[in-house]
Amino acid sequence: MTTRINPSILAADFANFERELGRIANADLAHIDVMDNHFVPNLTFGLAMVERLQQVTPIPLDLHLMIDDPDRWAPIYAETGAYSVTFHAEAAAEPVALARRLREIGARAGIALKPGTDLDAYLELLPEFDQILVMTVEPGFGGQSFMPATMPKLRRLREAVDASGLDVWLQVDGGIAADTIAIAAEAGADTFVAGSAVYGGEVPADRIEELRALAAA
Ligand code: DX5
Ligand code: ZN
- For ligand 1, mutation pick of 9, 141, 147, 172 (most atoms within 8 Å of CB): 141
ipTM over 0.95: yes
The answer to whether the annotation marks 84 as part of a ligand binding site is no
Q: What would the pLDDT profile of 171-184 be if each residue is shown by its tens digit?
A: 999 999 999 999 99
Question: Where do the domains of the chain lie?
Answer: 4-216
The ligand with the least distance to the CA atom of 86 is: 2
Task: Please list, in sequence order, all residues whose beta carbon lies within 8 angstroms of the beta carbon of residue 54, skipping any fewer than 6 positions away.
Answer: 61, 80, 81, 82
Residue 33 catalytic?
A: yes
Alpha helices in the chain (DSSP H): 17-22, 47-56, 70-78, 95-105, 120-123, 151-164, 181-187, 196-199, 204-216
Q: Which CATH class is domain 4-216?
A: alpha beta
pLDDT bracket for residue 217 (50, 70, 90): confident
Residue 1 reports pLDDT greater than 90: no
d(CA 12, CA 76): 25
Smallest-distance ligand from the CA of 195 = 1
115 lines ligand 1 (CB under 6 A): no
- pLDDT (average), residues 16-29: 98
Question: Rounded to whole angstroms, how far apart are CA atoms 97 and 213?
Answer: 37
Distances in whole angstroms, Cα of residue 161 to Cα of each of 87, 129, 138, 152, 203: 19, 11, 24, 14, 35
**Average per-residue pLDDT in the chain?**
98
Residues 150, 187: contact at Cβ < 8 Å?
A: no
DSSP at 128: G
- How confident is the model at residue 104, as a pLDDT? 98
Using left for φ > 0, alpha for ψ between -120 and 50, and beta otherwise, residue 174 falls in left
Q: Give pLDDT tens digits for 181-204.
A: 999 999 999 999 999 999 998 999
What is the CA(174)–ligand 1 centre distance, in A?
A: 5
Q: Which pLDDT score, from 0 to 100, does residue 210 have? A: 98
